[in-house]
């Protein structure tokens, strides 16, 4: 049985969680979840959800969240299809939860999310290419063109070579316990 996702304000979700009536499911990737998440949320990455499914306690309401609520809204059909009965979405996501003054778990030692690392690296490479192209030789503009082509390819195919390369960087390796 499928249903639509009903939006709930952070304070309402907090009440449901405190009462033990709901489970909060964070659909972001593990690197995003590790950096910042709602206290007590379960990590269930959207990328693996169809393969792994949701193992839920019967009788608990399900509230989905992401960082801002946009990813959850964009995937509401997929998410509601894996839940029997009513499903909800945390209005404003983790950002909305924090803005409401509710507790989040934040690990500043965890690496930045891979997508943010890609954005920073791509931006710096474009700036470098344009700067060198203007100041030194126009041939350096090829750096910016190469990065633009790579981002276009990544967007079209879902395969980002820069993300894979950054994933191998020492700061993105799991820390020893």
Going by C-alpha positions, the residue among 28, 46, 155 that lies closest to residue 95 is 28
Domain 5-106 class? alpha beta
For residue 136, give the DSSP letter: T
Q: Is 125 helix (H, G, I), strand (E, B) or coil?
A: helix
Residue 76 a catalytic site member: no
Distance of alpha carbon 35 from alpha carbon 65, whole angstroms? 15
Catalytic-labelled residue, pool 63, 66, 87, 143: 66
The tens place of each residue's pLDDT in the chain, 177 residues long, gives: 445 688 999 999 999 999 988 999 999 988 889 889 999 999 999 888 777 777 776 778 899 999 998 889 888 888 888 887 778 999 999 999 999 999 999 888 877 888 888 999 999 999 999 999 999 999 999 999 999 999 999 888 888 889 889 888 888 876 655
pLDDT at 107: 87
Rounded to two decimals, what is the model's pTM? Answer: 0.72
Sign (positive or negative) of CA dihedral 156, 76, 90, 55: negative
Overall residue count recorded for the chain in this entry: 177
pLDDT at 177: 52
pLDDT at 99: 96
Beta strands in the chain (DSSP E): 5-8, 22-26, 36-38, 42-43, 61-65, 87-90, 104-106
pLDDT at 50: 72
pLDDT at 109: 81
């Amino acid at each position: 049985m499928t249903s639509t996702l009903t939006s709930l304000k952070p304070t309402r979700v907090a009440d449901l969680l405190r009462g033990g009536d709901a489970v909060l499911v964070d659909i972001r990737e593990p690197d995003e979840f590790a950096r910042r998440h709602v206290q007590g949320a379960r990590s269930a990455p959207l990328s693996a959800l169809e393969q792994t499914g949701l193992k839920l306690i019967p009788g608990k309401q399900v509230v989905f969240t992401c960082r801002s609520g946009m990813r959850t809204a964009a995937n509401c059909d997929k998410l509601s299809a894996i839940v029997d009965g009513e499903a909800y979405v945390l209005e404003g996501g983790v950002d909305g939860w924090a803005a409401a003054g509710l507790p989040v778990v934040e690990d500043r030692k965890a690496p930045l999310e891979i997508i943010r690392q890609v954005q920073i690296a791509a931006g710096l490479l474009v700036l470098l290419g344009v700067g060198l192209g203007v100041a030194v030789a126009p041939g350096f503009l090829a750096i910016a063109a190469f990065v633009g082509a790579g981002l276009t390819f990544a967007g079209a195919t879902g395969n980002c070579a820069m993300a894979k390369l950054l994933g191998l960087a020492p700061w993105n390796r799991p820390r020893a316990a």
